[in-house]
Amino acid sequence: MNQNLGDKQSVAAMRNTFVARGVATAHPIVASRAAGAYLWDDAGRKYLDFVGGIGVLNVGHNHPAVVAAVQKQLESYSHVCFQVASYEPYIRLAARLSELVAPGQGYKSVFLTTGAEAVENAIKIARGYTNRPGVIAFRGGFHGRTLLGMSLTGMSAPYKQNFGPFAPDVYHAPYPNAYRGISSEDALKALHTIFSTQIQPDRVAAIILEPVQGDGGFLAAPDEFMEALRELATKHGIVLICDEIQTGFGRTGKMFGFQHSGIEPDLVTVAKSLAGGLPISGVVGRPEIIDAPQPGGLGGTYGGNPLSCAAANAVLDIFERENLLERSVKIGEQLRMGLEELKSQHVEMGEVRQIGAMVAVEFVSDAQTKTPDGSVVNRILDAAREEGLLIIKCGVERNVVRFLSPLTVSDRDIADALGMFGRALVAAKKAG
């Protein structure tokens, strides 16, 4: 092949020629290197990265402690497969997550590779434990692109397209959204309607939800809703699963999103920021539930890869050493204050949402009707990139801008990002 891979035009042309169209790329740049809160393209341009691999890099790009841990592990062995022979990094990570999720309660873990795998295995575990088929998920939730992941996901475009038929015995209930007039009481009434019209609660294996919907628009479940779900699940013997794939590892200001409400889920799915950029996911849960599958029923060739486990243990060390939970809260407060100030100048900013460093803005074309405006968001993302800031969108109508800065970002960088975003708002208006 004679094409020069160092030439940006050639790389872009090769992407269009050889990469499947269904793999979307938010920004038309080619990454060259990254460190901390910054990413450089192959033309040498520097960007503040407030995407972080879609919430994967809470400790930032190439954190030295993660790099060192992976290098050290690589010198011993890079792959064994835990189903062939066990190894210490996997077991140590399981022990640490047990204490982080439910201190002193002996929760157990299984490690996999992707978030979708974690979700699929959590449902498999719940069905195996309860011997029931039904699963309740929520509108606006995102749980992956596999068949069951798509079935659980509460959005049609772009995830479901013409990929059906989908997995059976999955039922979707409304998720609380005060901005759109859906209260916790409304959502719970709708859930009871599902029980009375579609599937009885004694046939439901699991209720799965994100404590803060990620791709659905950064919507936080109110405490009373989480508490009611916990009570309902306990009453009917339903396994309550918290999908912490995006909310986990400090993004919300606590290690896990469910901890804001004080409830204890039965199973927790983890992935994304667990290993600082290396692929690993897992299910952490009550021993009597997660032990329901017989030996051989769980696992995967690459699940809990030694390099990923070493990276994950390093990430947990970083959280302890650098006080990243406290830092997450401060980042969120600084972002929220800056965005609220911008909101007073831009009526199209319908609502600013913030819990810890999980921050987003919903854009509307009319403040009274709250009509979603996805077109302005597209222009904002392009204008922000031109300013040197990388951000992405989310929301069922793709009209929400989300901020996923590393938790290691400086106050100066946040201030710079807010300035870039403010200029992008003005440019997007002019372009419209």
345 inside domain: yes
Indicate the number of domains in the chain.
2
Residues 282 and 385 in one domain: no
Residues 213 and 286 in one domain: yes
Using DSSP bridges, classify how beta strands 38-41 and 267-270 pair: parallel, antiparallel or unpaired: unpaired
Residues 176 and 307 in one domain: yes
Length of the chain measured in residues: 432
Residues 197 and 289 in one domain: yes
Instruction: Report the predicted TM-score, pTM, of the whole model to 2 decimal places.
Output: 0.96
Quick one: how far is CA 293 from the chain centroid? 26
Classify burial at 176, counting beta carbons within 10 Å of its beta carbon; exposed 0-12, middle 13-18, buried 19 or more: buried
Residues 188 and 109 in one domain: yes
Tokens 């035009």 sit on residue: 9
Last-in-domain residue among 322, 340, 375: 322
Residues 378 and 339 in one domain: yes
2 inside domain: no
Residues 423 and 336 in one domain: yes
Which helix (H) or strand (E) segment is 50 a member of?
none
Contact 223, 300 (CB under 8 A): no
Which pLDDT tens digit goes with each residue over 159-190? Answer: 999 999 999 999 999 999 999 999 999 999 99
Residues 111 and 178 in one domain: yes
pLDDT tens, residue order, the chain (432 aa): 444 555 556 888 899 899 999 999 999 999 999 999 999 999 999 999 999 999 999 999 999 999 999 999 999 999 999 999 999 999 999 999 999 999 999 999 999 999 999 999 999 999 999 999 999 999 999 999 999 999 999 999 899 999 999 999 999 999 999 999 999 999 999 999 999 999 999 999 999 999 999 999 999 999 999 999 999 999 999 999 999 999 999 999 999 999 999 999 999 999 999 999 999 999 999 999 999 999 999 999 999 999 999 999 999 999 999 999 999 999 999 999 999 999 999 999 999 999 999 999 999 999 999 999 999 999 999 999 999 999 999 999 999 999 999 999 999 999 999 999 999 999 999 998
Residues 308 and 404 in one domain: no
Residue range(s) defining the domain that contains residue 135: 66-322
1 inside domain: no
Residues 189 and 262 in one domain: yes
Q: Using omega within 30 degrees of 0 as the cis cutoff, is the peptide bond preceding 222 cis?
A: no
Last-in-domain residue among 301, 322, 343: 322
Last-in-domain residue among 271, 292, 322: 322
State the Cα–Cα distance between residues 240 and 266, nearest whole angstrom.
Answer: 5
Residues 407 and 337 in one domain: yes
C-alpha distance across the termini of the chain, in Å: 42
Tokens 């992976």 sit on residue: 70
Tokens 């600082």 sit on residue: 276
CATH code of the domain containing 106: 3.40.640.10
Contact 250, 276 (CB under 8 A): no
Token pair of 27 as six digits? 């920004």
| Residue closest to 159 by CA, chosen among 22, 342, 286 | 22
Residues 129 and 275 in one domain: yes
CATH code of the domain containing 402: 3.90.1150.10
